[in-house]
Amino acid sequence: MYAFEYHRPTTLAEAARLASGNEDAKILAGGQTLIPTLKQRLAQPSDVVDLGAVAELRGICEDGDTLVIGATTPHAEVAASAVVQRLIPALAKLAEGIGDAQVRNRGTLGGSICNNDPSADYPAALVVLGATVHTTTRKIAAEDFFTGMFETALEPDEIVTAVAFPKPGKAAYVKFPNPASRYATVGVFVAEVGGQVRVAVTGAAPSVYRWTEAEQALAGGLDPAALDGLTVDPDGLNADIHASGEYRASLVKVMAKRAVAACV
C-alpha cells in the first residue's frame, strides 16, 4: 500500500470539506473493497477520508412508506434490522446473502453502490424498487445513478449520505452466488412497485439493468411460467473464468423464474 494522509472527521460537513476540491482524496467506508484495492497498489490516494466516525451517516429509519438507510450502515445491520424485515424483507435477505459474516460486519450500503461492481447485490435492489440516492449535493434516481461497470453518476468529491427505498408489494431477490466470494454470478430482483411488476438484473451485464421483456410478460401476474417464452441474448453479457455469456444468459431466466416463484 502506498502511504497516504488519514482523516477521521466526526461530522458530514467536515468530511465533505476534506473531500472537496481534492481529486486525489478517497472516501473510506467499510474498506472491504478499497483496502484490497490499495493493497494491490491499484489506487494511490493522497488522502483517505474515513466516514467511520460520522455518526449521522449510519442507521435505519422508517419515513412513512419509505425505508431510509444511512450510507455507512453495514450489511449485517440491514440484515438483522426488524424495521427492514418488516418493510422490505427481500432487502434484509439480500443483505444477509452478501459475502460472509466478516464482510457483512464491515461492508456498507454506500460503499457497495459507489463501487458499482457488476456483480454486487445492492444495485439490483435500488433499481427494482426505484430507490433514491441522497448525496451531499443532490438526490439521484437509482436508474440514473448506476452508469456503467464500476461507474456511477457521482462527482469525485460527492458523498452518498443515504438511500431511500419505497416499500414494494410482493418482492424477492434470488442469486446464483459465486461459490467462493458469494458475489452474484447473476442475481434477479422482482418486485411489485406502484401496481407494476419490475425486474432488475445484476451480475449478467457490465452494470445493473431492468429486464423490460420480463416485466411485460409478468404484467398479467406473478407466474414463473409467464417467462417461459423469453430468451436472453448472451451478446454483450459478462464472460469471465466464472461463467460464459451464454451461461449467464441462461441464469438470468432461471434466476428470474425462481425470484417470481419466491415473491411474497
Partner 1 sequence: MPTVSLQVNGKSVTREVEGRTLLVQLLREHLGLTGTHVGCDTSQCGACVVHVDGCSVKSCTMLAVQAEGTEVTTIEGLAAADGTLHPMQAAFREHHGLQCGYCTPGMVMSAVDLAQTHGHLDEKTVREGLEGNICRCTGYHNIVKAVLAGAEAMRAGVPKAAE
- Which of 12, 35, 261, 262 is the binder for partner 1 (CB under 8 A)? 35
- The residue type at 50: D
110 binds, among ligand FAD, partner 1, none (CB under 5 to 8 A by kind): ligand FAD
Of 33 and 132, the one with the shorter C-beta distance to ligand FAD is 33
> Can residue 50 be called a binding residue for partner 1 (CB under 8 A)?
yes
Cell numbers that stand for 103 in this block: 464482510
Residues 96-115 that bind ligand FAD (CB under 6 A): 98-99, 103, 106-108, 110-112, 114-115
> Can residue 5 be called a binding residue for partner 1 (CB under 8 A)?
yes
- Which of 26, 134, 198, 253 is the binder for ligand FAD (CB under 6 A)? 26
By C-alpha distance, which of 165, 170, 229 is closest to 196? 170
- CA distances (Å), origin 155, targets 139, 159, 160: 13, 8, 10
Q: Judge whether 141 and 152 are in contact, CB under 8 Å.
A: no
**Least separation in angstroms between CB 177 and partner 1:** 10
The torsion defined by the Cα of 40, 41, 46 and 49, in degrees rounded to 10, comes to -10
Q: Judge whether 71 and 160 are in contact, CB under 8 Å.
A: yes
By C-alpha distance, which of 97, 93, 104, 171 is closest to 131? 171
112 binds, among ligand FAD, partner 1, none (CB under 5 to 8 A by kind): ligand FAD
Both ends of the chain: CA-CA distance in Å? 46
According to DSSP, residue 62 is labeled: E
Which conformational region is residue 210 in: left (phi greater than 0), alpha (psi within -120 to 50 degrees), or beta? beta
> Can residue 52 be called a binding residue for ligand FAD (CB under 6 A)?
no
Residues 173-212 that bind partner 1 (CB under 8 A): 180-182
- Which of 22, 31, 169, 209 is the binder for partner 1 (CB under 8 A)? 31
Binding site for partner 1 (CB under 8 A): 1-6, 8, 28, 31-32, 35-36, 38-39, 48, 50, 52-53, 76, 99-103, 105-106, 180-182
Binding site for ligand FAD (CB under 6 A): 26-34, 51, 71, 98-99, 103, 106-108, 110-112, 114-115, 117, 120-122, 159-160, 181-183
